[in-house]
Amino acid sequence: MARAWTKMAVSSTKMMVMIMMMTSTISAKEQLSTKECEDLGFTGLALCSDCHSLSEYVKDQELVSDCLKCCADDSEDSMSKVTYSGAILEVCMRKLVFYPEIVGFIEEEKEKFPSVNVQYIFNSPPKLIMLDEDGEHKETIRIDNWKREHLLQYMREKVKPTSAS
């Protein structure tokens, strides 16, 4: 009987060590750059909770690990406070016909956001490239299925207003 208890205690200890190793790996996770994440296929605002959901359905640990390196914390407060100095709305001119909501934004709303520029790049899916104070790319967000009002709301919340001249 004592042998069974000892064996169970050793198993429990091993399990606890494995759990601690896994949580320390996740909490001290390495972050990848926006470009590296795009190259891996992770674009937009992937939340870390999405990666945990992914792990329930996909048994590829490397894919889940890459997702965790590219995700944003789920904290509502931390995400709502992030703002950008400007943005680039990148889209392929030939594909614009398939995105009437984006066309409407460009033609009728874009002038409200002087720090947002439109770039026409061949074969590019519609996306926002968010810029910091130095004009460096901080985040890329695919906007294929966004409605015009969502694009407007996002711009109002996330792009710092420029000083009137």
User: Which helix (H) or strand (E) is 19 found in, with range?
Assistant: helix 2-27
Contact 46, 64 (CB under 8 A): no
106 secondary structure, DSSP code: I
State the Cα–Cα distance between residues 84 and 7, nearest whole angstrom: 56
Q: Which residue has the higher pLDDT, 52 or 126?
A: 126
Rounded to an integer, the average pLDDT of 16-20 is 42
- On the question of pLDDT at 141 being above 70, the answer is yes
Mean pLDDT for the stretch of residues 101-129: 94
Residues 31-87 have pLDDT tens digits of 888 788 888 877 655 678 778 878 887 888 998 888 888 887 766 554 556 789 999
Task: Enter the pTM of the model.
Answer: 0.55
